């Protein structure tokens, strides 16, 4: 009788050990993959993939060059992540702005694009997106802002006017959505040990070494390609270069091929 009672306990223990062993092997293989191939073992795997409507797909095809270039399988992954993003994060309006489904989709699509090469894309370093109609005054900095990432409030804040402009003009290297979300994933990578954070950090450290080497830094400043704001600090530099990476990839690659490759590996993305 006592043995019979013990059987389910033993089975549960065996399953728990197998599961832990599986996690350990996965993490080991991830480490090897990052060291040798500069990317996690796998990125996309969804048991119950979410879908979006044909109308939403056609909006994405028209508005997002990134999306329109994906194959159908990748589009399905993108759609799934888009739905999960919109369901997870709270969208909060300020100054009576009416937030439409299309606005949510545009914000979500920017984030999904930026993190498409990362396995863990739903992160808890932020939980809300606050949207103002235009520039807003921050009591904290006593300045007007177009956007920010506020880790203490777990909030990403946008002026919709400037977010939209960043989306519409696709080759001026200004994209508020990419800029602020890069601050988010950068902060997140510094605090986490998952495969994509480790990969981001590894490439970021390489990049930092290159740009802090004085002759390289001078060449970056002299080239006039990156706006001077990039040199404010390391956090701003990374956000600005990722804006350039998505908006003018050909020019970026021609001017700074090594830096371009660094960013490409950091995001696990290829054009
Ligand atoms: Zn910034």
Query: pLDDT per residue over 197-226, tens digit each?
Result: 888 888 899 888 888 887 888 888 888 888
How far apart are alpha carbons 270 and 263 in whole angstroms? 10
Average pLDDT over residues 184-192: 92
> pLDDT at position 106, please?
94
Q: For residue range 124-182, what is the model confidence (pLDDT) as tens digits?
A: 999 999 999 999 998 777 889 999 999 999 999 999 999 999 988 888 889 999 999 99
* Span from the CA of 146 to the centroid of ligand 1 (angstroms): 10
Q: What is the pLDDT of residues 10-48, one digit of tens each?
A: 889 999 999 999 888 888 887 777 777 777 778 888 888
In a domain, 47, yes or no: no
Residues 60-112: pLDDT tens digits?
Answer: 998 888 999 999 999 999 999 999 999 999 999 999 999 999 999 999 999 99
Mark whether 16 and 127 lie in a shared domain.
no
Regarding whether 124 and 12 lie in a shared domain, the answer is: no
20 and 145 assigned to the same domain:
no
104 and 172 share a domain? yes
Q: What is the pLDDT of residues 251-271, one digit of tens each?
A: 999 999 989 999 999 999 988
pLDDT-derived band at 1 (thresholds 50, 70, 90) equals: low
pLDDT of residue 160: 97
Instruction: Please check whether residues 180 and 254 belong to one and the same domain.
Output: yes
User: What's the gap in Å between 5 CA and the centre of ligand 1?
Assistant: 60
CATH number at residue 195: 1.10.472.150
CA of 157 to the centre of ligand 1 (A): 11
- Tokens representing residue 109 in the block: 């699509």
Q: How far does the centroid of ligand 1 lie from the alpha carbon of residue 122, in Å?
A: 21
Q: Does any domain span residue 42?
A: no
CA–CA dist 205, 12 (Å, integer):
42
pLDDT band at 115 (very low <50, low <70, confident <90, very high): very high
In the prediction, which pLDDT does 196 show?
83
Domain annotation covers residue 48: no
Ligand 1 centre to CA of 235 (Å) is 7
**Cα Rg, the chain, nearest whole Å:** 21
Could you tell me the distance, in angstroms and rounded to a whole number, from the CA of residue 20 to the centre of ligand 1? 39
Task: Please state the domain count of the chain.
Answer: 2
33 and 61 fall within a common domain: no
pLDDT of residue 152: 92
- Are 29 and 112 members of one domain? no
Does the structure show a pLDDT above 70 at 2?
no
Residue 111 lies in a domain: yes
Does any domain span residue 161?
yes
On whether both 77 and 174 belong to a single domain, the answer is: yes
Q: How far is the CA of 149 from the centre of ligand 1 (A)?
A: 8
Query: 183 C-alpha to center of ligand 1: Å?
Result: 7
Task: Let me know if residue 46 belongs to a domain.
Answer: no
- Position 246 scores a pLDDT of 95
Distance 19 CA to ligand 1 centre (A): 41
Task: Indicate if 175 and 243 belong to the same structural domain.
Answer: yes
How far apart (Å, rounded) are the C-alpha atoms in residues 77 and 89?
A: 18
Say how many Å lie between the CA of residue 180 and the centre of ligand 1: 6
The answer as to whether 45 is a domain residue is: no
The range of the structural domain enclosing residue 32 comes to 1-37
Same domain, 24 and 153: no
């Amino acid at each position: 009788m006592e043995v019979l009672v013990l059987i389910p306990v033993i089975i549960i223990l065996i399953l728990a050990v197998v599961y832990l062993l599986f996690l350990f092997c996965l993490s080991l293989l991830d480490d090897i993959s990052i060291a040798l191939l500069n990317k996690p073992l796998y990125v996309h795997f969804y048991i119950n993939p979410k879908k979006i409507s044909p109308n939403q797909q056609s909006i994405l095809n028209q508005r997002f060059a990134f999306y329109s270039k994906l194959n159908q399988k990748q589009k399905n992954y993108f759609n799934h992540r888009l739905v999960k993003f919109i369901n997870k994060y709270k969208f909060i309006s300020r100054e009576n702005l009416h937030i439409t489904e299309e606005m949510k989709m545009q914000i979500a699509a920017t984030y999904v694009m930026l993190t498409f090469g990362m396995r863990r894309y739903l992160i808890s370093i932020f939980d809300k997106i606050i949207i103002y109609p235009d520039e807003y005054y921050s009591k904290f900095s006593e300045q007007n802002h177009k956007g920010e990432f506020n880790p203490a409030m777990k909030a990403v804040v946008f002026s919709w006017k400037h977010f939209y402009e960043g989306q519409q003009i696709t080759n001026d290297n200004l994209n508020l959505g990419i800029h602020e979300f890069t601050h988010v994933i950068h902060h997140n990578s510094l605090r986490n040990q998952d495969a994509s954070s480790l990969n981001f950090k590894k490439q970021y450290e390489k990049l930092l070494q290159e740009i802090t080497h004085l002759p390289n830094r001078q060449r970056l400043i002299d080239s006039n390609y990156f706006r001077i704001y990039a040199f404010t600090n390391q956090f701003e530099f990374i956000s600005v270069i990722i804006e350039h990476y998505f908006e003018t990839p050909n020019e970026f690659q021609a001017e700074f091929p090594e830096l371009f490759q660094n960013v490409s590996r950091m995001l696990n993305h290829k054009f």
